[in-house]
């Protein structure tokens, strides 16, 4: 029975901590998501260009 009591206490403490969390607003979440998507896209394009450049350099060296 002590085990169940400890689980109940743990869950009560978790819920108390969740009430203390300062959850972000929807506009903040949308803006953050947009920033992440844009940065990911820019980084993907950059790495693609670098990969193409290095592939051509290696192709020239191996010929």
Mean pLDDT, range 46-59, rounded to an integer: 97
pLDDT at 57 over 90: yes
Mean pLDDT, range 1-12, rounded to an integer: 91
The reported pTM is 0.65
DSSP codes of every residue in the chain: -HHHHHHHHHHHHHHHHHHH--PPPHHHHHHHHHHHHHHHHHHHHHHHHHHHHHHHHHHHHH-
Binned at pLDDT 50, 70 and 90, residue 24 comes out as: very high
Residue 42 belongs to a domain: yes
pLDDT at 35 over 80: yes
Residue 34 belongs to a domain: yes
Residue 20 belongs to a domain: no
Q: Taking a C-beta distance cutoff of 8 angstroms, is the pair 32, 24 a contact?
A: yes
pLDDT at 63 over 90: no
Mean pLDDT, range 45-60, rounded to an integer: 97
Give phi and psi for 24, each to the nearest 5: -70, 155
The domain of 37 spans 25-63
Residue 7 belongs to a domain: no
């Amino acid at each position: 029975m002590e085990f169940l009591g400890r689980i109940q206490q743990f869950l009560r403490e978790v819920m108390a901590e969740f009430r203390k969390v300062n959850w972000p607003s929807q506009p903040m979440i949308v803006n953050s998501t947009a920033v992440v998507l844009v940065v990911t896209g820019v980084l993907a394009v950059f790495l693609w260009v670098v990969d193409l450049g290095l592939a051509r350099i290696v192709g020239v060296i191996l010929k």
